[in-house]
Structure 1
Amino acid sequence: MSDCVQKTEEFLKRRGIDPATVDMEHLLNTFLSEMEKGLRDEHASSLKMIPTYTTVVSEILKNEPVIVLDAGGTNFRTCLVTFDTEGTAHIEDFRKVSMPGVKKEVSAEEFFSTFANEVERLIDKSDKIGFCFSYAASITADHDGIPLVFSKEIKAPEVIGKPVGATLLQELARRGYDVSNKKVAVLNDTVATLLAGQSAKREVPYSGYIGFILGTGTNTAYVEENSSIEKLGLQDSGSQIINIESGNFDFCPSELDREFFNATKAPQQYHLEKMISGAYLGPLSTLVIEKAIEDRVLSDTFKARFSKLGGINTTVMSNYLEMPFNHEYELVACCEGNKEDAVSLWMIIDALIARSAKLTAANLAATILKSGAGTDPRVPVCINADGTTFYKTEYLKKYTEYYLHTHLQLARRRYYRFVHIDDSPTIGAAIAGLSL
């Protein structure tokens, strides 16, 4: 068994999968440097550092309803949200429909008509609208959002370049509604996740807020001083939330990663996302396992069985770590009768998840360091983390916390707490809308 373990360890180091092969100091410095460059000029950095003109309010407005819209993935959700005197969010009149443009291409008129149809039942309930728009969009100083591109699920090319808040109000006005007092705050889901952290029940005050999503994809948001956002040239002393677009961080730790990137759409983009997120961890692990077969770490019998699977996803790799003796799982069946295969496979998948956790921790650590918050252990940074990959992938959250504790808390004396707020996009959008 010791030979099997040694052979696997050597393979992981040689191929750059062992998390120890990632230099945390270099990674943190590189991430921070990219953040600085992105604040000066987003075209000079892999991190766009998008200003949102959205601020963290000192107190959430109580007992005032706000209309909330949530356009994300293939669904469009609408509801009314009110925070009670205790700060608890109450979600009412919730409804979900398909996003326009999912089934077929739609015009801009059809697109905004669908939105207006859903808003009409709520229009008289509030003059404030919080709109979580989870597609690539630039945010304007008046809190509107201008779509830059839609994911392949949404087919609405005429909408690109149109301010979604203003155009929605125009459609409602065309229908005869008085929108003269209506205000819309548009924000993306990561910024909404940050704001939702404000609603967390707490035993201590927080010195700062981070919004973090690790699901199918990944992104991070934090609060930055306006004076540090050189590309805006602002002179005031305030601050605003920055959408980092952290999944696009340019980092390639090994030749194997380069091979994987080259096999994906847009090989030069979203490197961090392709090493840590749910859409890619499974395919990446498939490639690593194939290399382990090629390097004779795994047996010919395993090779024959594994080839029949046609690749694995993130859930399948996580299941193997969780229950390595459950023969209903495909990877367990691949190792049947060969203990060395079973141990090597466990070590390979565990290393991939541990490396993902180290990269995730570097992202969060650099963000906290850049924020300047968390220096007092009594007043930590609130990290509102969302996404099924982060919470459901075996050991990922545990290992992330280990690397953060080691490299951020022990090495740099910065302090933080994780929270998980249900319905974060809805609650964050409500807070943004109420702050108008």
Structure 2
Amino acid sequence: MVPSSEYIIEFKVDVLKTLKLVGITTGVLTAIGVSAYYIHRNLQSSKRVILRDEVRNILRPFQLTEEQIRRVMANLNTEMTNGLKSDEAITNDLAMFPTFVHHGPSGQESGEYLVVDLGGSNFRVSHVVIEERNRMRLNNKIFLIPHSLLLGAGEKLFDYIAECLQRFIDDNKLSLHKSNDHQFDLAFTFSFPCKQRSLREATLVSWTKGFSCTSVVGNDVVSMLQQAINRRKGLRIEVVALVNDTVGTLMACSSTYRDCRAGVILGTGTNACYFENIENVPKWIGPRDNTLKQVVISTEWGALGKNGCLDFIRTDIDRELDESSLTPQQQVFEKMISALYLGEIVRLIIVDLVQRSILFPGRMQKSPSIRPDYNIFLILRGSFYAKHVADIESDTTEDLSITAAILTSIGIHEPSYDDCYIIREVCKTVSLRAAKLAAAAIAVLINRLNMPSVTVAVDGTLFRHHNKFKKNLIQTLDRFVPRTHRLVLSEDGSSKGSALVAAVDRRLKTASSTYEKNFPS
């Protein structure tokens, strides 16, 4: 029979009385209890220290010193300068593409624009109405891209975009109150390396982020989109601007922060742009006059390390990831930072620790028929996401239950506390390295701008949703940038900012046309 709770309480009291009769006081009992607790905790802590010592050699190469960070900064600065001198792709790490955007918004822009934002496995179509003082109304819809189109013929990808544009216009009844000859101006946000010859001409240099559509590299993507639009006879749209997502990010914040001179993306991929004096761009082929003193440069800094300048911080895990990627020997810097790769770095470290019998000891020997999903995780590339890294790194539960739940959800059943603890350390280490590298790169931008104060517009999932990453980024940046600076989140930058690029271009052309009409040469 199970004893009642009253009996249990009475029994505990009797035990205490008996102990007191033999000379053991309550204070002594308390001391014994406290001592036992600390002995237990110290045993647990010493066990964790031993476990951490076992993985230290694997994690140490990911722990960057201040000297290494400064060396990364120096190398990035050198490569940026080299990239501004020439387009020598073989010797230069960074393309440093002039974007043909010369001015930020003045507050006098207005108009109605469509925006297509293509930069990942989905794309967004937006309808942006710019009113006076750059107040904007925005409506958008996200369209998923079938995986077959990411790898198929480029013409089919652009035909699909045009089809989705037609659906967006029809669903939102945008043509109801327009005359038959009304034509929408469209800004094309295209987040891949492009060499621009004007605001409306851009040749794709290479695909990144999992795309490999045929017959696009080496061709003008603005022309390909326009041709796809023209093939749909009822679609009256003119592509008026090609905008990198970093430029959109910059422009969206420039309307609010007058000292905003740089835009950074920290998401699926990473890139940055900034205003550079034209006199510092020897390769600039556009006009040089008093009206054009600056141009926004898309750094394409994800390619840093192509020629080996980052080899001193690359690990065996980095090299393994690179070799198995769709773009080996490319985007070296991006593969250490961006959300597309952070989870895979962690997964590869976990696999290494499993193979060394440090994590899940004995589990590798289990039959695949018992835990087939567990084995799938160990061999399936891309099965661990940046969101997992963020959630595990932020797990402060006493028993690491959040980490355990995440591991269970991806096929690692019944992980021990020690397993969870080690994996959290791995996530922290990989995330911190990424944040430090991102901070080093942003520090170079701010220092090159050489202004009393600088606002940097930032967008991307890592900055938006990975709180530990953002905190570490800001803390590192503060150590390496002495001047006044701030990072601000760019809201809907790829849509609002791209529409602003088109609106600024329209304003400048209208002003020029008016001037020529009033003051003919």
Who is 1:421 aligned against? 490
Greater alpha carbon shift after TM alignment, 287-296 vs 227-236? 287-296
**Aligned mates of 1:435, 1:334 — CA distance in 2:** 53
CA gap 1:90/1:45 in 2 versus in 1, 3 angstroms: same
Sort the Cα spacing of 1:233 and 1:102 in 2 relative to 1 into closer, same or farther, 3 A: closer
> Does residue 214 in structure 1 map to residue 214 in structure 2?
no
Mapping for residues 110-149 of structure 1, pairs under 5 Å:
111=158, 115=162, 118=165, 128-149=185-206
Which residue of 2 is the match for residue 317 of structure 1?
A: 389
Q: Deviations over 1:274-311 (max 9, x none)?
A: 11111111111122233344566546157679756325
**Residue 80 of structure 1: CA displacement?**
3.4
Q: 2:65 aligns with which of 7, 12, 20?
A: 20
Match for 1:267 among 328, 336, 343? 328
Mapping for residues 178-189 of structure 1, pairs under 5 Å: 184-189=240-245
What is the DSSP-based 3-state SS (H/G/I as helix, E as strand, rest coil) of the residue aligned with 1:370?
helix
- Judging changes above 3 Å, is the alpha-carbon distance between structure 1 residues 289 and 108 closer, same or farther for their aligned structure 2 residues? closer
User: Residues of 2 paired with 1:399 and 1:185: CA distance?
Assistant: 36
Task: Pick closer, same or farther for the CA change 1:3–1:22 going to 2, 3 Å.
Answer: farther
Shift of 1:258: 2.9
1:279-294 correspondence runs (5 A) = 279-293=340-354
After superposition, the C-alpha distances for 1:161-203 in whole angstroms (9 at most, x for unaligned) are: 1351597289659959999xx6711112121111111234xxx
Larger mean Cα displacement after TM superposition, 141-150 or 416-425 = 141-150
Cα distance change of structure 1 residues 223 and 283 upon mapping to structure 2, 3 Å threshold: same
Provide, for residues 11-55 of structure 1, a one-character-per-residue CA deviation record: whole Å limited to 9, x for no partner.
446640123386121111111011111111242321111111112
Structure 1, residues 323-377: CA drift from partner, whole Å, max 9, x if none? Answer: 332342217996967544433332222111111110010111111112223xx2x
Cα distance in 1 for residues equivalent to 2:235 and 2:355: 66
Please tell me whether the aligned partners of residues 70 and 426 of structure 1 are also in contact (alpha carbons under 8 angstroms): yes
Shift in Å, 1:145: 2.1
Q: Check whether the contact 1:316–1:331 (CA below 8 A) recurs between aligned residues.
A: no
C-alpha separation in 1, matches of 2:232 and 2:244:
27
- Compared with structure 1, are the counterparts of its residues 103 and 281 closer, same or farther at alpha carbon in structure 2 (3 Å cutoff)? closer
Relative to 1, partners in 2 of residues 1:227 and 1:387: Cα closer, same or farther, differing over 3 Å? same
Matched residue, 1:387: 460
**Equivalent position to 1:330, from 398, 404, 407:** 407
Distance 1:109 1:320 in 2: 40
The 8 Å contact of residues 108 and 132 in structure 2, kept in 1 or not, is answered as no
1:4 counterpart = 2:42: no
CA distance in 2 between partners of 1:347 and 1:183 (Å):
48
Structure 1 residue matching 2:61: 3-state secondary structure? coil
TM-superposed deviation, 1:149: 4.4
Distance verdict in 2 for CA 1:103–1:51, change over 3 Å: closer
Letter of the 1:369 counterpart: N
Deviation at 1:59, TM superposition (A): 0.8
Which range moves more in the overlay, 219-228 or 363-372? Answer: 363-372
The answer on 1:238 being equivalent to 2:293 is yes
1:46 is the counterpart of 2:93: yes
Cα shift at 1:142: 4.6
Within a 5 Å distance, the mapping from 1:142-221 to structure 2 comes to 142-150=199-207, 153=211, 155=213, 157=215, 160-162=218-220, 164=222, 168=226, 172=230, 184-200=240-256, 205-221=257-273
Contact 2:407 2:415 in 1 (8 A): no
Give the Cα–Cα distance (whole angstroms) in 2 for the partners of residues 118 and 260 of structure 1: 36
CA distance in 2, matches of 1:334, 1:67: 45
Q: Does 1:368 align with 2:446?
A: yes
Q: Which moved more, 1:62-71 or 1:385-394?
A: 62-71
Paired residues of 1:60 and 1:431 also in contact (CA < 8 A):
no
**Aligned match for 1:61, one of 94, 108, 132:** 108
- Residue pair 2:262, 2:457 contacting (<8 A) in 1 also: yes
Native 8 Å contact 1:382 1:417 kept in 2: yes
Q: Contact 1:211/1:222 (CA < 8 Å) preserved in 2?
A: yes
Alignment-mate amino acid for residue 416 of structure 1: H
Three-state SS of the structure 1 residue aligned to 2:333 is helix
Moved more, 163-172 or 67-76: 163-172
Farther off after superposition, 139-148 or 162-171: 162-171
Structure 1 residues 125 and 159, CA, compared in 2 at 3 Å: closer, same or farther? farther
1:228-269 Cα shifts (integer Å, max 9, x gaps): 111225644611111111111112314423343333333321
Deviates more, 1:142-151 or 1:214-223: 142-151
TM-score, normalization by structure 1 = 0.81
1:358 aligns with 2:403: no
Give the letter aligned to residue 38 of structure 1. G
Q: Is the 8 A contact 1:361 1:400 kept in 2?
A: yes
Letter in 2 for 1:431: L
Shift of 1:404: 0.4
Work out whether 1:226 is the aligned partner of 2:278.
Answer: yes
Q: Aligned Cα RMSD in Å?
A: 3.7
The percentage of aligned residue pairs carrying the same residue is 23
Cα deviation, residue 432, structure 1? 0.7
Q: Structure 1 residues 231 and 319 mapped into 2: Cα distance closer, same or farther (>3 Å)?
A: same
1:228 to 1:316, Cα distance in 2 relative to 1, 3 A: same
Residues 182, 236 of structure 2: 8 Å contact kept = no
> Please, which runs of 5 or more residues in structure 1 have no aligned partner?
none
Instruction: State the TM-score, normalized to the length of structure 2.
Output: 0.69
Cα 1:193/1:362, change in 2 over 3 Å: same
Partner SS for 1:184: strand
State the one-letter code of the partner of 1:162. Answer: D
In structure 1, give the amino acid aligned to 2:336: M
Contact 1:68/1:130 (8 A) holds in 2: yes
Count of residues paired in the alignment: 420
Determine the C-alpha separation between the residues in 2 that align with 1:171 and 1:224.
34
Which amino acid in structure 2 is aligned with residue 118 of structure 1?
Answer: L
Instruction: Note the C-alpha offset of 1:405.
Output: 0.9
- The one-letter code of the counterpart of 2:68 is D
Tell me whether 1:276 sits opposite 2:276 in the alignment. Answer: no
Describe the SS at the equivalent of 1:16: helix
Q: Name the residue aligned to 2:78.
A: 33
